[in-house]
Amino acid sequence: MQFLPQILFVLISGAAIWLFARRASRIRRNILLGKEEDYSDQPAARWRNMALFALGQKKMFKKPLVGLMHFVIYAGFIIINIEVLEIILDGALGTHRLFAEPLGDFYPFVINFFELLAVGVLAARVVFLARRNIVKVKRFQRDLDGWPKSDANLILTIEIILMSLFLLMNTADTLLQERGYGHYADYSGSFIVSGLLHPLLSGLDNSSLVVVERSCWWLHITGIFAFLNYLPYSKHLHILLAFPNAYYMRLQPLGYMKNMPAIQNEVLYAMQPELAPAEAAPPDKFGARDVMDLSWRNLLDAYTCTECGRCTAVCPASQTGKLLSPRKIMMDTRDRSEEVGRNTDRNGEFRDDGKTLLHDYISVEELRACTTCNACVEACPAGISPLEIILELRRSLIMEESNAPQEWNAMFSNIENNFAPWKFAPDERDKWTGES
């Protein structure tokens, strides 16, 4: 019976890690449904982007107060994992504060830093909950009905509970240290925040304190394992994916739009027929109709989306009442990727389900509302580009379905026949110069 807690802990840890790895592999598979695209160039610039945008939260600081709170939360998530490592090792080895002896006098500084971070995370999470549910910031109200809204509130609540358990665990632990009770007496230290919380538990006897400390310890670590497995089903997966997404960030200027070489060649051959090959194979598809026609980078964007709504808040089409919401474009792309993934798991391979990203998830009206201004791309703190997906879907809409507004069709016809958007023959364009 002596080793029962350790055996139980190892089993829970193994199950949590296995479940997370299985879900992570499915998300990776879903992302790789997209077409291959090379982002291996300029590694130095890519590492710099990862440091600035993922670790340094550069774009978040356009709003300094919100940026600071978000940075505290993100730093807390990353740094407090060192404390989690100690808890995991203590659970597996049956030890108590394993790092205390090797770190010596530095150990109290480390735990104090963790506790202060925990308080910062608690405060920031309470503010963020209030912004969503009391202040009701406008950008949190659109596109987030049902599960997306519940997801955001749930993750904020979970993190508040986890930080509270950590502080309460330390409070009971340090009280038992002061009383020299059992193995707790092997380490004697005091911490700033948990020390201030001693009056909350000082009326309890030693056995009750042990129950509180052990309960908080188990709830804290199993809560972290549950949180780990909740992440891949939540928008908060960006906590992990922000790093690869920042590394593979597009390095071209925002105004750069990828062209299709086959289309460029058609224009070239129209201008210079002598360059046209005898036989030229047409491309299989123009643009994208479903997630498999997008690049893997577009699907990584979709899974990294934080649903913060900054893109929609700055979108001029959205601001003027149009149906378009760049955030919804990313959410729809992720939802369709998930649906295709489930279809593949169920059938061994993807079987046509009669649905496509274009039309069934994203409407023609949404696509036509986009002005291609890149405001959404500039605003996104994670370097996501809804515009790339919009452009690819519009290409399919126009070039595969010939589905364009009448005004566009007239312009396309003029370009095809007159090599310009206007309805004038090329040899008549300079006639205006001779008019008095």
The amino acid that residue 357 corresponds to is L
Domain boundary among 194, 225, 247: 247
What's the start-to-end Cα distance of the chain, in Å?
Answer: 105
pLDDT per residue of the chain (436 residues) written in tens, 0 to 9: 567 888 888 899 999 999 999 999 999 999 999 999 999 899 999 999 999 888 888 888 888 888 888 888 877 777 777 778 888 888 888 888 888 888 888 888 888 888 888 898 888 888 888 988 888 888 888 877 778 888 888 888 988 998 899 999 999 998 998 888 888 877 777 788 988 999 999 889 999 999 999 999 999 999 989 988 998 999 889 888 999 999 999 998 888 888 877 777 777 777 777 777 777 666 678 889 999 999 999 999 999 999 988 999 999 999 999 999 999 999 999 999 999 999 999 998 899 999 999 999 999 999 999 999 999 999 999 889 999 999 999 999 988 888 888 888 888 888 878 878 888 777 777 777 777 5
pTM for the predicted model, two decimal places: 0.86
Q: In this structure, what DSSP letter does residue 4 have? A: H
Q: Side-chain half-sphere of 240: how many Cα atoms within 13 Å?
A: 17
Distance CA(425)–CA(419), nearest Å, equals: 8
User: Cβ(193)–Cβ(172) under 8 Å?
Assistant: no
Answer whether 234's CB lies under 8 Å from 193's CB.
no
Report the 10 Å Cβ neighbour count for 82: 12
Query: Residues 176, 210: contact at Cβ < 8 Å?
Result: yes
CATH number at residue 400: 1.10.1060
Range of the domain at 229: 4-31+63-247
Tokens read off for 269: 């051959």
The CATH number covering residue 155 comes to 1.20.950
The domain tally of the chain equals 2
Note whether residue 217 is domain-resident: yes
Instruction: Tell whether 310 and 397 lie within a shared domain.
Output: yes
Would you say residue 175 lies in a domain? Answer: yes
Q: How far apart are CA 9 and CA 236, in angstroms?
A: 26
Of 221, 247, 273, which residue is a domain's last?
247
- Total residues belonging to the chain: 436
Any domain includes 48 = no
In this structure, is the dihedral angle defined by the CA atoms of residues 118, 24, 290 and 351, taken in order, positive or negative? negative
Residue 51 lies in a domain: no
Tell me whether residue 259 is in a domain.
Answer: no
Q: How far apart are CA 421 and CA 411, in angstroms?
A: 5
- Confirm whether 8 is domain-assigned: yes
Same domain, 391 and 292: yes
Instruction: Report the alpha-carbon distance of residue 79 to residue 75 in Å, rounded.
Output: 6
Measured CA to CA, the distance from residue 399 to residue 393 in angstroms comes to 10
Query: Which of 213, 195, 217 is CA-nearest to residue 116?
Result: 195
Same domain for 243 and 291, yes or no, is no
